[in-house]
């Protein structure tokens, strides 16, 4: 299959680009002995789990379903090749009815409060699990994305030092803990990790030497051009050498960053006919901004474009008005704000043209939805050989089946 023959919309994940990211991560594992896990919530394309499990040390889950997916698609197939992968889980609160299954699938179970440790910790330890508590070092290092800041005041994610140390449950359950977990970064570099580690040590330092491991969470933009890997490795060694800890990282983004595309087709060009005849001009809708309706939707297929929000990179395009022909690219749903962004092109767009959005492997297929009865994009793997392989196609039954 060639790219021009792919059904649209479709996500195309490029195996060679995934391997490029995995190689960077693998080299850090080999240099430092850190344990790196895939955070499945960012990227759960399990066709690639056997590959990912050969480079990384396992995966982490946000709940029972992701934990089971890791068990079925990474741990089990690789165990047949004598490769051992770890299966970790963190949830703000576990459900009693899920917990037996979680004990079957997971090696590490991270809790969010002492009350959760009281409810489930003894059972987890009796089942031979390594258990941890998520801490909140109250150290916000990011500006901009408040909904992605677990250190914001009132955060429900992680236990503060006051609630950790001053709880009546501390004395009884502290000896049960094998590790501490924090996750406070989002698309950040290792200088912010270093700042966070300072806060972790300042607040929780006296407890670290009682632990076996520390988990630095995700949000490390390790595979981004210019990320400071030596500083990350110094952070890892600081915890290894200072406290004798095994260090875990659980990046999601970094595993599949810039390794996938969303290919869509132009359905129609709309805009003032008069202006269109005159050639291009103007800088607003009323002024002649043309609209291209695509067969992909920001709201349904790339929800982070609206949630973050951000303007995804698009191949062969420029900033609005940078090139000769500018269009507002929108989806076919009813939502007025279902707009991917304004982009310019060297030549006028035509019906049937293909547009290729970049960096669409992460937080895309795991978050998409069928609002308005929108079809879900197919999932395609561009294999290392260059061949395209259709992994999954969705239809009406996938829409109906969720309702
Ligand atoms: C989201 C999340 C991750 C992965 O974050 P990325 O930004 O995708 O690297 C890891 N651990 C936890 C607990 C998370 O919530």
CA dist., res. 97 & res. 213, Å (int) = 28
**53 touches 85 (CB < 8 A):** yes
pLDDT given for residue 277 in this prediction: 46
On the question of a cis peptide bond just before residue 309, with omega within 30 degrees of 0, the verdict is: yes
Nearest C-alpha neighbor of 126 from the set 111, 138, 109? 109
What is the mean pLDDT, run by run of 10 residues, along the chain of 403 residues?
88 98 98 98 98 98 98 98 98 98 98 98 98 98 86 95 98 98 97 98 98 98 98 98 98 98 97 56 59 98 95 97 96 97 97 97 98 98 96 98 96
pLDDT given for residue 89 in this prediction: 99
CA dist., res. 258 & res. 260, Å (int) = 6
Ligand 1 atom with the smallest distance to the CA of 185 is 7
Ligand 1 atom with the smallest distance to the CA of 90 is 13
CA dist., res. 398 & res. 375, Å (int) = 8
Distance from residue 39's CA to the centre of ligand 1 (Å): 6
Nearest C-alpha neighbor of 255 from the set 52, 34, 28, 12? 52
pLDDT given for residue 2 in this prediction: 78
How do residues 214-244 score in pLDDT, each as one tens digit? 999 999 999 999 999 999 999 999 999 999 9
| Residue 191 token pair | 């200088």
pLDDT given for residue 3 in this prediction: 79
| Residue 210 token pair | 């009682």
Ligand 1 atom with the smallest distance to the CA of 251 is 9
pLDDT given for residue 143 in this prediction: 80
- The pTM (predicted TM-score) of the whole model is 0.95
**294 touches 355 (CB < 8 A):** yes
By three-state DSSP, how is residue 70 classified?
helix
Ligand 1 pocket (Cβ < 6 Å) reads 39, 41-42, 90, 183, 186, 217-219, 250-254
CA dist., res. 106 & res. 86, Å (int) = 8
Distance from residue 62's CA to the centre of ligand 1 (Å): 9
């Amino acid at each position: 299959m060639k790219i021009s023959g792919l059904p649209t919309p479709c996500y195309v994940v490029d195996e060679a680009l995934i391997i490029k990211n995995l190689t960077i991560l693998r080299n850090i594992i080999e240099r430092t002995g850190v344990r790196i896990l895939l955070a499945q919530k960012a990227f759960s394309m399990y066709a690639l789990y056997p590959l990912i499990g050969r480079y990384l040390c396992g995966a982490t889950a946000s709940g029972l379903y992701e934990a089971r997916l890791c068990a079925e698609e990474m741990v089990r197939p690789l165990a047949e090749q004598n490769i051992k992968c770890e299966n970790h889980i963190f949830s703000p609160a576990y459900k009693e009815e899920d917990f037996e299954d979680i004990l079957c699938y997971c090696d590490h179970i991270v809790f969010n409060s002492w009350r959760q440790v009281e409810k489930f910790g003894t059972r987890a330890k009796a089942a031979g699990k390594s258990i941890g508590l998520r801490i909140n070092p109250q150290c916000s290092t990011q500006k901009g994305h408040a909904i992605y800041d677990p250190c914001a005041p009132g955060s429900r994610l992680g236990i503060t030092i006051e609630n950790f140390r001053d709880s009546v449950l501390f004395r009884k359950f502290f000896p049960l803990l094998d590790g501490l977990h924090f996750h406070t970064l989002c698309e950040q570099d290792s200088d912010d990790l270093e700042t966070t580690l300072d806060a972790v040590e300042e607040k929780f330092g006296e407890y670290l030497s009682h632990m076996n491991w520390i988990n630095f969470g995700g949000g490390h933009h390790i595979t981004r051009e210019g990320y400071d890997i030596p500083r990350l490795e110094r952070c890892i060694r600081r915890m290894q050498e200072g406290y004798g800890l095994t260090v875990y990282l659980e990046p999601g983004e970094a595993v599949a960053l810039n390794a996938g595309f969303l290919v869509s087709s132009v359905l129609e060009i709309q805009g003032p006919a008069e202006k269109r005849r005159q050639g291009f001009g103007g800088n607003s809708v009323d002024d002649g901004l043309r609209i291209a309706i695509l067969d992909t939707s920001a709201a349904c297929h790339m929800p982070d474009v609206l949630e973050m929000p951000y303007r995804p990179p698009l191949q062969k395009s420029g900033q609005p008005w940078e090139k000769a022909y500018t269009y507002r690219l929108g989806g076919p749903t009813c939502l007025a704000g279902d707009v991917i962004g304004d982009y310019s092109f060297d030549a006028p767009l035509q019906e049937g043209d293909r547009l290729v959005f970049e960096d669409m492997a992460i937080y895309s297929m795991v978050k998409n939805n069928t609002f308005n009865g929108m079809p879900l994009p197919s999932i395609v793997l561009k294999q290392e050989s260059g061949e395209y392989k259709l992994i999954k196609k969705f239809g009406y039954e996938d829409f109906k089946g969720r309702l």
